Every structure is written in structure tokens, then in C-alpha cells.
Structure 1
């Protein structure tokens, strides 16, 4: 419980600081904040939770000096996973819509709202224009967990499996393997020089280890199936 409380305190300070330039009414500021907290604290959220949001915000802050328009990047981090259903295909669209409604209620300028929506939607394929440094910062921060220590990565991978607990082991393994392969086939995972320097090598190592482990599990599952269906 203590880590959760500490994270909550940090996030509350981040949120309040972020909205200060807009002179948002305190009651409204707090309402939107606690709505976000409730959304990210649902029991089925093992990875896409407040800890993830805080980590993304921390990495974004580390790249602040490279940003051209920092506020929309921060706001996108807050809202990008607010709607998350592993069985749905439109989480990004719904999160963007949620962000638009919430930011409109806070009287955030429409030009910022539009930018936030755009950034959130780019998490569908994690692609950014070569000239859009802020989009690159945001997407790299979102994937920074891939370049964490091996132990932290394993905790992340386990949390993702828990969020997909409705899938059978073999179906999950095949689907997860497909995702990892797509990442490993990229020439580089990270778009910014900062993230590439700090996370790329470890991320490729982590992804390859998990992919190898999944390949073995899939092979064993298939061999077991073949054994069970053989006729002697």
C-alpha cells in the first residue's frame, strides 16, 4: 500500500503543477484527477496503471530539454491508457475521446486538446514523423519499460500476462510472440537519441529473451498436442 500512496502523492503534485498555467478551478482539477486515478486503479490493471503513468511522465521529464511543446506531451501521458480493455480494438480512440471531454471541461485550449488526441492515437502503431520530436519523446517514454532491468522487465511481462488472463496459455504465447517479433524486426526500437542510447541495447536483450522463452513454450505445447492426438 505504501508504494501506491507514494506514487499517488507524486502524481497529484505532477497534475497540479501541469495545470497551473491554465488557472483551473481547484474542485474541477481534483475531480478530473480522481477520475483518472479511479480508472487506472481498477483491479484488472496489472500493468496499465498509475505506476505506468508515473514512469512515462518520469521519462518524458528526462527528455524535457528536447521538447518543443512540453504540455501536450505530458497531458497525452496522463490520458493515453485511461480506457484499456485487452479484448477491445479501440482503446486508443476511446482514450482520445475521454481526453477531449476531460480537457474541454478543464477549459484547456482546443489547439492543445487536438494535439493531445493526435499523440494518443499514435500509440496504435508507435510510429512518429521524423520531424515530430514531441511525438517521438512520448512514444519512447511509453515503451521505456522494454529497456528496464531484466528483473523489472520480467515483472512487466508477468503483469501483461495477467491482463490477458482470459486467453489460454498457448493463444497468449503465440500472440505475444507475434508482438515481440514485430518489435525485434525494427531497425531501432526508440526514435529519440536519448532513449536509443539509454534503453535500446537492454530492450533488445529483454525482448529476445522473452521471445526465446515463448518459442520453447509454444514448441512444447505443440509436441504435447501431437502426443495426445497420436494413434498407436
Structure 2
């Protein structure tokens, strides 16, 4: 989620969030289910290597907040929001076909596993995507939103500003190679890029669910929010205190200046007031020095 200041050079990192075996296997199983649904019954390569490569990315040592706990939380919030949408069933749909493997696939260079594969697949026409993939003025496409959750911080370096673009390109390469239809791949990449601004259009249900799920951390209890804010500061430990205070304060003011933080009715009802309270409290603490 692009809500932190940028700049500086990262210090040496230790103590990354490494998933416990049980949690790791649970995420792999969720990836497996989502990828099969996204393929719509079509054949494709073994999903497992893609999932393992993605989880390796989410467990990189320089991550504090943007690790596997965040991935799991976003997936859980997507499920919660999908369950509270009006209308037809929003389950992932077909689950037959080859099994296995998390979503974010490889990123750059030899350490990425089988996801780097072909890089220049055909680009889908945006109008065709809007017509072919639910969620653009129509119903939710849960598989696309869940895949976007897997990829939205797959590439993450706190000293760089192009993380979302690189994550979207990774999704395009990996999901095309993994057998996901071109229209859904394009929708996933669009959603990943949307997390730069968290500003979906009014008729963008897929975007609303993903952005609300990503921003749900803002509505934690005061203790949870303080833990989140501390982890963000740890990720930006290379930024001097004054520069971080200025950059973070600007981000908080920008968020508080929005007419609404959340777009879905369920998120606004449950999270808006608490999120604004937390943001206001953090801004006051930063202003006090």
C-alpha cells in the first residue's frame, strides 16, 4: 500500500517476518484455490512453484509491515467484504484443473523461480477487459481481486517509488505463464496499479474491495494501529526522523482530507470512524515531535 514517504537508502535488515509452517501452508492452499478459479478450468503449469516464489518475496528480510501477515490480512478482508456485498454468490467459481501454488510469481532475476517466464504477452484492450471481466460496473470478480491482493506488494522496496508498477508487471508475466485468461490478467494488473492511489471509480467494485481491504489496517484498535505505525517506521529506518515526520504527516493529511477512506458500504460502516480516529491521533503525535 502506497501510504509511506520515500527517500534514502535502506539500512541492513534483520528479523524478517518468516511465516510459520502452518500459516505458510494455509497461504499456499489459498493460492492454489484462487489460481484454479482464475483459470476457469483450463489446464496450466503446476501452481506450487509460483506460490512458493511469491511467499519468498513476502518474507524478504527488509519487510516489517509489508510481510506475510499483511498478505493474510488483506486476503481475509477481501473475503469479509465479498461476503457482505449484495447480489449473487461471490465465491471463486470453478476449481477444477491443475492444482497448487501462490500467486505473485517471480519478479526479477534468477532468484525468482518459474514466474519470470515470458514477459511480452499480448496486451488486452482496456475496453475488452471491462466487458470480459466482472467488477467493472458489474459484479465482483473474486479471483481477480484475490490475485491482485497476492501481487499488490510482491515487489516492495521502501526506498523506491515504482513498486506497484513492478508488481503489476510481475503479475502480467507470472499469471500469463500460469494459464490465467488474458482479460483477467489485465484486470489483476490494473488493480495492482490502483493501489498507488487507492482511488477506484464509483463503478469499480473490484477496485473498491481491494483498496478497502488494503486500507483496513487503518481501522485497527489503538494498539494494533500503533504496532502498524511502528512497523512502517522500522521499514523506513534509513530516513532521518525529521524527514520521516514530514513525509508521514503529509500522507496522513492527504488521507484525512479525503471525503471517504472506504468505498464499500460494509467498510464505511465498520472502519471509517475508527480509521479517522487513528490517523488523527498519529498526526497529533507526529506534530508534537
What TM-score results when the alignment is normalised by the length of structure 2? 0.72
The structure with higher relative contact order (CA 8 Å, sep 6+) is: 2
Structure 2 residues without counterparts, runs of 5 or longer: 1-16, 86-138
1:54 to 68, 72, 75: 72
Whichever of the two has the greater Rg, that structure is 1
| 2:125 equivalent to 1:107 | no
Tell me how far apart the structure 2 counterparts of residues 130 and 5 of structure 1 sit (CA, whole Å). Answer: 40
Q: Structure 1 pair 108/26, CA: closer, same or farther in 2 (3 Å)?
A: closer
Q: Counterparts in 2 of 1:34-183, with a 5 A limit?
A: 34-65=52-83, 66=85, 68-183=140-255
Q: Structure 1 pair 99/19, CA: closer, same or farther in 2 (3 Å)?
A: same
Partner SS state of residue 20, structure 2: helix
Tell me how far apart the structure 1 counterparts of residues 18 and 283 of structure 2 sit (CA, whole Å). Answer: 34
Tell me how far apart the structure 2 counterparts of residues 30 and 96 of structure 1 sit (CA, whole Å). Answer: 20
Counterpart in 1 of 2:89?
none
Counterpart in 1 of 2:34?
18
| 2:46 equivalent to 1:28 | yes
* Conserved? CA contact 1:7–1:50, under 8 Å: no
Partner SS state of residue 72, structure 1: helix
Tell me how far apart the structure 1 counterparts of residues 164 and 18 of structure 2 sit (CA, whole Å). Answer: 31
Deviation at 1:8, TM superposition (A): 1.3
Question: What root-mean-square deviation, in Å, do the aligned CA atoms of Structure 1 and Structure 2 show?
Answer: 1.8
Name the one with the larger helix percent.
1
* Conserved? CA contact 2:35–2:147, under 8 Å: no
Partner SS state of residue 238, structure 2: coil
What TM-score results when the alignment is normalised by the length of structure 1? 0.89
Structure 1 residues without counterparts, runs of 5 or longer: 218-232
The total of aligned residue pairs comes to 217
Deviation at 1:213, TM superposition (A): 0.2
Tell me how far apart the structure 1 counterparts of residues 144 and 45 of structure 2 sit (CA, whole Å). Answer: 22
* Conserved? CA contact 1:7–1:51, under 8 Å: no
Q: Structure 1 pair 28/186, CA: closer, same or farther in 2 (3 Å)?
A: same
Q: Structure 1 pair 44/2, CA: closer, same or farther in 2 (3 Å)?
A: closer
Tell me how far apart the structure 2 counterparts of residues 186 and 119 of structure 1 sit (CA, whole Å). Answer: 20
Tell me how far apart the structure 2 counterparts of residues 160 and 24 of structure 1 sit (CA, whole Å). Answer: 40
Q: Structure 1 pair 82/3, CA: closer, same or farther in 2 (3 Å)?
A: closer
